[in-house]
Structure 1
Amino acid sequence: MLDHIDSPHALRQLSVEQLPQLSKELRQFIITILATKEGHLGASLGVVELTIALHYVFNTPEDKLVWDVGHQAYVHKILTGRKDIFHTNRQKGGISGFPKISESDYDTFGTGHSSTSISAALGMAIAATIQGKKEQQHIAVIGDASIASGMAFEGLNHAGVTEANLLVVLNDNAIGIDPSIGALKNYFTNVKKGTARENTVFEALNFECHGPVDGHDLPELIRVFKKLQKTKGPKFLHVITTKGKGLALAEKDQVTYHAPGKFDATTGERYAKDTTQLPPKYQDVFGHTIVELATHNKKIIGITPAMPTGSSLKYMIEAFPDRAFDVGIAEQHAVTLSAGMATQGMVVFCNIYSTFLQRAYDQIIHDVALQNLPVIFCLDRAGLVGQDGPTHHGSFDLAYLNCIPNLIIYAPKDEVDLRNIMFTAQLGLPQPIAIRYPRGRGVIIDWMQPFQKIAIGKGSCIQKGKRIAIVCIGTIIHNALKASKDHPKTVSIYDMGFLKPIDTALLDTIFKTYEVVITLEDGTIKGGLGSVVADYAFAKAYKGTLKIVGIPDRFITHGTVEELQEEIGISPNEISKVIDSYL
């Protein structure tokens, strides 16, 4: 049946009785492709019936459907003309893993981060009112983890005092990437158990409330959506789904099967990888090191916004549950909570993905840096992250943090440096520090070495040559070392370590010694290491050649990290070409 469905218009030609068969085929289609191509499995399996019902009842794309986050939008993509190219999902040159306006008229709003759908759909609804499009429908589909975010409540609060034709569909599966937490999650649980009066919270915000309904009961979903289609004003529908529905192992282990990697399409069993002889993931270096430090320093606190598994703070949550906190999808709250604890003498490690920290930019400035509170920010997923693409790349952290007074900025070159800067920071710094490190594995198998204190603001020479200096920050230095392997006596490699305060004494030496200086970073060249070195070179009237290499001034698409580094010129191969051009 799926072979004949290439649009919602074709979908609407089916009878309601035919739709359960289509659901089965969609699940199998997704499982078969993701088994080899990888991607976000569990969330999309959980919304098969919900997606069918939405496109079956509402007149998309004239009616506007906004998916929160986008992890749950695979079925939507398949039903809206992208079935035949779905195998390219998240592959370089292929379709995005998230809704993207430029990709399809059905993708009404680009979403990669959470809790934006209600505000976006409300904006569309108000615009429709102004334009006289009275019959146009606007639907925001948001998860129970995402709706707990402050931005979602800002949207709900505004929508409740409008007459906007807005439907908020709560996809309640009790889990985001990790299990949902917080008082609102407990409220939804009580609603499902019948121990709380249904939707009191949302009725108080002037929404007409419906549900809960079974999100896998197609006839019931269609009946309810047809009813709501005729209801004016802001509406709220509580839908209960199971993440990973239809694949037993995905239902059982919902955290792992959010994005399981490659697996057997028949059994669901993940293909085992022997990682015993591989270096650790940087997130695990953080996770195990903070537990080690917290064992001896009782003031250490760990905080993450909804990423205990992704950040590996889960190890501290298990070891010290009274000193480690998952605060839900609430980056702003996470930062100011950290600030509040720091005022009381606690040593706070606030672990947030680089791209998610952008959402708390004012809090970094107003609540931490302005008051010079020694919060320790650990920014996971810095630099290029690969197939999640431009919404998730940590391209901008060096630049957006660099302009903030009082803030130390450090990027370790390897796992040992990450351990040592964490050790140094918890000894007591007079100001806040941001430590940024990439997704994926490091380079050192024997990484759990004795702690050594790092001198703040000091860089070092890693390789000594005579003609060219490559000035690096962070783990991208390993690309420079590979690129210069044929010229060890010609090319010097410097690890600055700190973007702020930068080691000006070391830069003075470099400028006096080399006629060609190349800066290298896996961050945007606007405002990062290259900009800082260029400013200092200008101030010192440096007469040589300065070449800035990094992420160019554009949003980088999705693909493997290696493919993207090659594309933008920061792979070992491309760096070697830069070196050769000056020899």
Structure 2
Amino acid sequence: MECVLKDLEVYGLESAQLEKVCVLLRERILEVVSHNGGHLSSSLGAIEIIVGMHNVFDKDKHPFIFDTSHQAYAHKLLTGRFEAFSTLRQIGGISGFVRPSESPYDYFIAGHSSTAISVGVGVAKAYALKGIDHVPVVMVGDGSLSAGLAYEALDELGDRKYPLVIVLNDNEMSIAKPIGAISNALSHLMARPLYQSLREKIKNILKSMPEGVNYLANRFEESFKLITPGILFEELGISYLGPVDGHNLEAITQAFQIAKDTKGPLLIHAQTTKGKGYQIAEGKYEKWHGVGPFDLKTGQSLKSAPKPLSPTQVYSDTLFELASQDDKIVGVTAAMPGGTGLGKLIDSYPQRFWDVAIAEQHAVTSMAALAKEGFKPFVSIYSTFLQRAFDQIVHDVGIMSLPVKFAIDRAGIVGEDGETHQGLLDTAYLRPIPNMVLLAPRDNATLKQAIYFANQYNQGPCAFRYPRGSFLLPDGAFEAKPYTLGKCEWLQEGGKILLVGYGNGVGRAYATLKLLEAEGLEVGLLDLCFLKPLDSDLQNILPRYSKIYVFSDSYLMGGVGSALLEFLGGGVYLKSFEVGDLYVLHGNSVAVECTLKIDPTTLAQEILKDNS
């Protein structure tokens, strides 16, 4: 067993050995996540399911496809990364999500929700064309089935009948709770090989029976389905097995074996407990979904220094203040009420603020209708997830110029979650949309002013972006003034060199300015405030400077620097310190900035060299 535990090859192992592997995986996940931070409760809750998958399906033949994949830590540990797991979410280390460039056993990238079934259907199609009889195995969480993409894939799968195993890890909302003791007993019956075998035999016999008998038999089976959770999937044409106890290794491996032997699509409904095996985190505690370093014995955070007030909290408090005074203010988030700060508004005003689950497209379009009806809708979504609703922003909001207010959280570099979560694209994908107003506050005080501005702006849609954690600019560095549409703000005049900041870029520009001044260089500092519309005075301001440097947490292509050059039509020396043409990997945000060479020290050195 020592050899087994060392290399963690579990394919074909007996149940007693599998139990020991689960204990080892749980200990390793707790050890590393308590030190590095990461996604804890979902990964602990999925251990037995993942061990069962690896036990029944040969990983060298069957691709394992994860949805979102923050629950896939056990999979990483079972695929040659047990020792390297100590580098979880660190620069140059193991990603917190599955990543094909990291391991051949990470079949497909997965940082956004609800893609796995669609990927699985695509793989099954490819295998059918190639004549390969391997079965893709897809693992999804219950929340993933709140997104339309999952149902689009299920709809085609039920029609085409490709061999595909889907395991639904039901650990929180329980999309279809069992109804009483009868349903529970029937579900256990349906999970047994005897039931599955008899069911197929009955179907074959019925083909030769008179129509009336066939009808009665089918109605008899349907009456079973109506009091079990599988009716939705069965009606879509996908065989259903469950509910199965997702922490019972014998039950879950038996279910996988049945699925492996079944021709066509089959969904295993496994019920699990988030945080399983670490009592402090067991249950529906959102704070244990994604955690920082913590003490294993007490569960207390190890971060000693108090955090400054986060932009998310400022947004939450300010919107709550406005909503308590104006019943026309409404809002929506997509499965992130805590992360976006909308939780307390949903609790206080449940008729006006909604969590629509993982449905960004629906969130945007439904708010467009509310705007048309005279309400003031705030759409609170992370930058990376708002990408999913691009067409709705254009078609349902932009064309009719509806006054929807987009509060874009986690804009810029987000750190440990890596390339699937970096909020670097919103500037580029929103800027071309006609009628869209774009602004970005530089600190908590100006964030409040941005929310006030958005609340009063009714000529069309507007979007304001703010970072994760905290602004780079210290609170109180500059006075916060009310925003005026399309007007920039001087923070410091002087010299022939101008630093232009946008949003969190102002803080980076300010830190760079201090380093330049220490070297005797006189520079000016301008807060752009609005990227769209740009201040018409910039036509006169910018040409007065010999060199202009742009700072913004966005991509260089389609970013702030390119907007200024388009606006000016050339004739100026302008260099932008935005992010280059690459996907930004995971790691501590400060360390990531250093690797990208956009930290203040590196930028100050580059400007000094440029002006020597």
Q: Provide TM-score, normalisation by structure 2.
A: 0.89
Map Cα deviations across residues 372-427 of structure 1 (whole Å, 9 max, x no partner).
Answer: 00000000000000010000000111011111101001111111111111112212
State the 1:189 CA deviation.
6.1
Q: How does 1:110-121 map to 2 (within 5 A)?
A: 110-121=109-120
Q: In 1, distance between residues paired with 2:178 and 2:466?
A: 37
SS at structure 2 position matched to 1:551: coil
Q: How does 1:116-135 map to 2 (within 5 A)?
A: 116-133=115-132, 135=133
Provide the residue aligned with 1:502 in structure 2: 534
**Correspondence 1:187 to 2:187:** no
Q: In 1, distance between residues paired with 2:73 and 2:2?
A: 14
Q: How does 1:130-149 map to 2 (within 5 A)?
A: 130-133=129-132, 135-149=133-147
Provide the residue aligned with 2:213 in structure 1: none
Q: In 1, distance between residues paired with 2:321 and 2:589?
A: 31
Provide the residue aligned with 2:399 in structure 1: 370
Map Cα deviations across residues 160-199 of structure 1 (whole Å, 9 max, x no partner).
Answer: 111311111110011xxxxx4xxxx553465897594331
**Correspondence 1:248 to 2:248:** no
Relative distance call for 1:446 and 1:504 in structure 2 (3 A) is: closer
Relative distance call for 1:137 and 1:357 in structure 2 (3 A) is: same
Q: In 2, distance between residues paired with 1:423 and 1:515?
A: 36
Choose the corresponding residue for 1:529, options 557, 560, 578. 560
Match of 1:228, as an amino acid? A
CA contact (8 A) 2:440 2:450 kept: no
Match of 2:22, as an amino acid? S
Provide the residue aligned with 1:82 in structure 2: 81
CA contact (8 A) 1:173 1:240 kept: yes
Match of 2:530, as an amino acid? F
State the 1:491 CA deviation.
1.0
Match of 1:124, as an amino acid? V
Map Cα deviations across residues 254-284 of structure 1 (whole Å, 9 max, x no partner).
Answer: 2111122111223433336452xx4311110
Q: In 2, distance between residues paired with 1:3 and 1:265?
A: 28
**Structure 2 runs not aligned, ≥5 long:** 185-225
Provide the residue aligned with 2:385 in structure 1: 356
CA contact (8 A) 1:300 1:348 kept: yes
Provide the residue aligned with 2:522 in structure 1: 490
SS at structure 1 position matched to 2:438: strand
Provide the residue aligned with 2:588 in structure 1: 560
Map Cα deviations across residues 449-483 of structure 1 (whole Å, 9 max, x no partner).
Answer: 99964101110111222121111100121111111
Q: In 1, distance between residues paired with 2:58 and 2:405?
A: 49
Match of 1:31, as an amino acid? L
Q: How does 1:125-274 map to 2 (within 5 A)?
A: 125-133=124-132, 135-174=133-172, 180=173, 185=174, 187-188=176-177, 190=179, 196-252=227-283, 254-271=285-302, 273=304
Relative distance call for 1:7 and 1:65 in structure 2 (3 A) is: farther
Q: How does 1:52-91 map to 2 (within 5 A)?
A: 52-91=51-90
Relative distance call for 1:6 and 1:129 in structure 2 (3 A) is: farther
What is the aligned residue count?
565
**Structure 1 runs not aligned, ≥5 long:** 175-179
SS at structure 2 position matched to 1:509: helix
Q: In 1, distance between residues paired with 2:298 and 2:277?
A: 11
Provide the residue aligned with 1:456 in structure 2: 485
Q: How does 1:386-401 map to 2 (within 5 A)?
A: 386-401=415-430
Match of 2:176, as an amino acid? Y
The Cα RMSD (Å) is 2.1
Map Cα deviations across residues 29-83 of structure 1 (whole Å, 9 max, x no partner).
Answer: 1101111111111111001111100000001131011010011000000000000
Provide the residue aligned with 1:101 in structure 2: 100
Q: In 2, distance between residues paired with 1:12 and 1:22?
A: 12
Which deviates more, 499-508 or 227-236? 499-508
Choose the corresponding residue for 2:321, options 292, 295, 298. 292
Larger Rg, first or second structure (1 or 2): 2
Provide the residue aligned with 1:177 in structure 2: none
Q: In 1, distance between residues paired with 2:553 and 2:168?
A: 38
Map Cα deviations across residues 264-312 of structure 1 (whole Å, 9 max, x no partner).
Answer: 223433336452xx43111101111110000111100010000000001
SS at structure 2 position matched to 1:82: coil
CA contact (8 A) 1:5 1:79 kept: no
Provide the residue aligned with 1:545 in structure 2: 573
Choose the corresponding residue for 1:476, options 501, 505, 508. 505
CA contact (8 A) 1:247 1:268 kept: no
CA contact (8 A) 1:415 1:443 kept: no
Q: In 2, distance between residues paired with 1:405 and 1:425?
A: 17
Q: In 2, distance between residues paired with 1:528 and 1:454?
A: 21
CA contact (8 A) 2:40 2:290 kept: yes
Map Cα deviations across residues 503-547 of structure 1 (whole Å, 9 max, x no partner).
Answer: 131342121x1111111111000001011112223x2x41x4211
CA contact (8 A) 1:415 1:444 kept: no
Which deviates more, 254-263 or 194-203? 194-203
Q: In 2, distance between residues paired with 1:234 and 1:215?
A: 20
Q: In 2, distance between residues paired with 1:507 and 1:573?
A: 30
Q: Percent identity?
A: 38
CA contact (8 A) 1:304 1:327 kept: yes
Choose the corresponding residue for 2:440, options 411, 414, 423. 411
